[in-house]
Structure 1
Amino acid sequence: MGKWQLVKLNFGRSSVHFGELGIGMEESKERVRSDTLFSAWVSNYARLFGKKPVEELLAKFLQPNPPMRISSTFIYRECKNNTKNSTIFYLPRPLKFPTNYPHGGDLDSKKDDLAFFKTYKSLNYLPLDIWHRWYQGEGFTQEDAKELTDKTKGNAKGKLKEAGTFDYKEAFKNHKLPKVAIDRTTSATNFYHTEYVQFNWEQNGSGVKSLSGLYFLVYSEDANQHIEELEAALNLLGEQGIGGERSSGAGLFQAKWLDLKDASPLWENVVKPLDDKAYQCLISLFWDDDKSNLERLIEDKKDNLDNSQSSYEIQERGGWYSDGNIRRQMIRMFAEGSVFPIEPQGKLADITPSEFKAHKIYRSGIALSLPIKVQI
């Protein structure tokens, strides 16, 4: 087994703008996906070390067993309670029900089912301890159902609330700034707004302490391979900024690498393999153009063929190449939270436009997933 690490991105007072295909300049997501993180990271690797080293690095990522797999970024939030300071790490809710999730006759009435399902469905991200309990531990409980029903009615109290299950959006705020675009030919002006995300922070003496931000997981087969160079490239990315509106100072961060046990002792249990009946939940985007691989992921579960074994969402990924007005090829990828009966591997997608000759352009569909138990 290789080595897992967790990287926290502390943005301090720097806002971020993470636009996605189809939502326009005025809106921003609160996190950045694995393909965007990979591209920005490798681009800064090229700035630091040059063309030949980055080509050698990409050649290794084109192999069946890449040297490193990364997740998408997700929210973390520092939580202060009466006993100690702790960090809440949020993970995407898998697109299958957890074990012991009640259906129909297990509930007192259909009305109760709808009451707690409304809140359950709105929980796109779960705190690490709830994610672990629902999908790797004892599973869903009647107490959970009651608390979710209470939350629907507006008065939830219990373990879910204490864990921060309903507080995801408290980690950040959205705000819009006015902008003016001036046409270079006609000097005509166009007034618009751009949305930014600000993670929570507080003044700490003469500095700034990040109270929330983003994190991602790294899995490497060879922990020492390129690690110093990659850390340097990530530090440069933090100085340059990630996402859009970097010319306005957005996306600046400081990266902190942690062993899982230093981030939270629970992480070591979360990444630990389960039994051979375990499913896999994506925590990155995933792409593969091999039809036989996709058929196995979608249809197979050992000797039991059933098209309902997988649950997934598709995300379209496109955009513009930064060094010129060139549109990248659009591809469709499996989104985070998708569930498969076997471990997805993924690969780099060659999205080089036909008119671009300088070098190859890749989008990362290399998968990273966690083992889970689900309701069948």
Structure 2
Amino acid sequence: MPTLSVHRLHFRTGLHLGVRGVNLEESGVSLPSDTLFSALVDGWRRLGGDVDAWLTPFLAAPPEPPFLLTSAFPFVGDVRFYPMPVDPARLFAAPQRGKRVKRIRWLSEELFVRALKGEKLDRWAPPEQEKPNAQPADKREPEGLLLQGGRLWLMREPELKRLPDWVRVDPKTRQKRSLHVFPNLEVWQEGRTPRVTVDRANSASTIFHIGQVRFGPECGLWFGIQWRAPNRTIAGGAQSYQESVEHILALLSEEGIGGDRSVGYGAFTHESVAAPLTLPDHRPNELAWLLSRYHPADADAVRAMTAATNAAYRITSVAGWLRSPDGPAQRRKRIHLLEEGSLIPMSKNVAGDLVDVAPDYGRNEESSPDRLPHPVYRAGFAVAAGLAKEANHG
């Protein structure tokens, strides 16, 4: 069974994560695994490390990555959340087509573990309630709870007591909150901050806005590292990969992660959780629940995925800007990755690869001002939890 070390990021200020197809005024909440891996690579370079040597096992044929990364998902107190499956209907025995189920982005660890075992989650399905301030028809306390406008789903027992005090108790009245108001509680806030750009030619100023996310106390993002060779020494050096990741995270905690770092966004306090996370193995060619983005490395993997009648997946287009000290800022090549929450068959313990997304223009022209002298990689290695046979067919 794959075992992951768990890392929690408590953001000291706002966080800006770009969203595909959306301007700077919007920010994502979760941190994709390919973005996180790129931040580690860039952090290693800024520490003076040899990037080519660090990447050598990831680029081997076949790849031998010393570690794999999940994406970073929300946590609230001691409750960790995971991506909802692309096909949420298979979580329920009865049809659940209400608006609340459709809004859910992440489910709690207790629900996630039950779903992996094939257990149906109807008992904890959030009750329908059209108007936020309406009195619920059923006065009983619900078994399933929602937070953050219905985007987070968890169980009343045993997870309610794991939430921060300020979530469970109204700080003004010091009374326990009614569970029916939980969907309207915000454990993070999304806002916009004004910025000004000044034209160098005529000094004209233009205002624009940057989207940001601010987490409440005891809330933030968590991610897992699946260590395969933590003590492996980096080629040509003395440090192990585990030591290098610790040093990189220490650097990133001060310099920040995501966008708009020059004004303090993205800085965090890093916490390593003592208890590891153990995921069930995925059996060959049976469904696995993706906890990272994934880039199938060969045609066989694509054929197996598309041929599986019980698979459910979503593809995201990843592009954006690259910045390098060795060249001008440029557009990366666009690639397509499977999203977290996809349910796909997997036949290998290490699935996926690194993809060079450096632009092609100027690559073969030594004198070109646009030429980058190095590749630019996005990571598409999969971290996934195996589904029990009962869960493979919905």
For Structure 1 versus Structure 2, the TM-score category normalised by the shorter chain is: 0.7 to 0.9
Residue type of the partner of 1:135? L
Q: How many Å separate the matches in 1 of 2:378 and 2:283? A: 32
Residue type of the partner of 1:102? A
Residue type of the partner of 2:319? G
Instruction: Give the match for residue 109 of structure 2.
Output: 128
Q: How many Å separate the matches in 2 of 1:298 and 1:250? A: 40
Indicate if the aligned counterparts of 2:284 and 2:347 stay in contact, CA closer than 8 A: no
Moved more, 341-350 or 35-44: 341-350
Q: 1:328 aligns with which of 318, 332, 336?
A: 332
| Identity value in percent | 28
Residue type of the partner of 2:7? V
Q: Does residue 221 in structure 1 map to residue 228 in structure 2?
A: yes
Partner SS, residue 256 of structure 1:
strand
Indicate if the aligned counterparts of 1:96 and 1:311 stay in contact, CA closer than 8 A: yes
- The structure-2 alpha-carbon separation of the partners of 1:100 and 1:33, relative to structure 1 and needing over 3 Å to count, comes to closer
Q: How many Å separate the matches in 1 of 2:347 and 2:40? A: 25
Q: Write the mapping of 1:1-376 to structure 2, written as runs, cut at 5 A.
A: 3-12=3-12, 14-50=13-49, 53-63=50-60, 64-78=63-77, 87-97=78-88, 101-103=92-94, 114=97, 117-136=98-117, 138-141=119-122, 143-145=123-125, 147-149=126-128, 155=136, 157-161=141-145, 162=156, 163=159, 170-201=186-217, 211-225=218-232, 226-261=241-276, 267-268=277-278, 271-273=279-281, 279-300=287-308, 308-323=309-324, 324-342=328-346, 345-354=351-360, 355=362, 356-372=371-387, 373-376=391-394
Q: How many Å separate the matches in 1 of 2:195 and 2:294? A: 35
Q: How many Å separate the matches in 1 of 2:258 and 2:294? A: 20
Give 1:25 deviation, angstroms: 0.8
Partner SS, residue 247 of structure 1:
helix
Indicate if the aligned counterparts of 2:285 and 2:347 stay in contact, CA closer than 8 A: no
Indicate if the aligned counterparts of 2:285 and 2:346 stay in contact, CA closer than 8 A: no
Q: How many Å separate the matches in 1 of 2:110 and 2:74? A: 14
- The structure-2 alpha-carbon separation of the partners of 1:288 and 1:234, relative to structure 1 and needing over 3 Å to count, comes to same
Residue type of the partner of 1:314? I
Indicate if the aligned counterparts of 1:32 and 1:73 stay in contact, CA closer than 8 A: yes
Indicate if the aligned counterparts of 1:67 and 1:222 stay in contact, CA closer than 8 A: yes
- The structure-2 alpha-carbon separation of the partners of 1:343 and 1:75, relative to structure 1 and needing over 3 Å to count, comes to farther
Residue type of the partner of 2:115? W
With normalisation by structure 1, the TM-score equals 0.80
Indicate if the aligned counterparts of 1:11 and 1:213 stay in contact, CA closer than 8 A: yes
Instruction: Give the match for residue 206 of structure 1.
Output: none
Partner SS, residue 238 of structure 1:
helix
Residue type of the partner of 1:364? A
Q: How many Å separate the matches in 1 of 2:322 and 2:184? A: 32
Residue type of the partner of 2:81? Y
Q: How many Å separate the matches in 1 of 2:307 and 2:34? A: 26
Q: How many Å separate the matches in 2 of 1:97 and 1:10? A: 29
With normalisation by structure 2, the TM-score equals 0.77
* Cα-Cα RMSD: 2.6
Residue type of the partner of 2:127? L
Give 1:140 deviation, angstroms: 2.3
Residue type of the partner of 2:113? H
The structure whose residues are more often helix, as a share, is: 1
Give 1:330 deviation, angstroms: 0.8
Give 1:135 deviation, angstroms: 3.1
Gaps of 5+ in 1: 79-86, 105-112, 202-210, 262-266, 301-307
Give 1:148 deviation, angstroms: 3.1
Indicate if the aligned counterparts of 1:100 and 1:375 stay in contact, CA closer than 8 A: no
Q: How many Å separate the matches in 2 of 1:56 and 1:319? A: 26
The C-alpha deviation readout for 1:199-235, integer Å capped at 9, x for no partner, is 112xxxxxxxxx1011101101123231011110111
- The structure-2 alpha-carbon separation of the partners of 1:136 and 1:168, relative to structure 1 and needing over 3 Å to count, comes to farther
Give 1:68 deviation, angstroms: 0.8
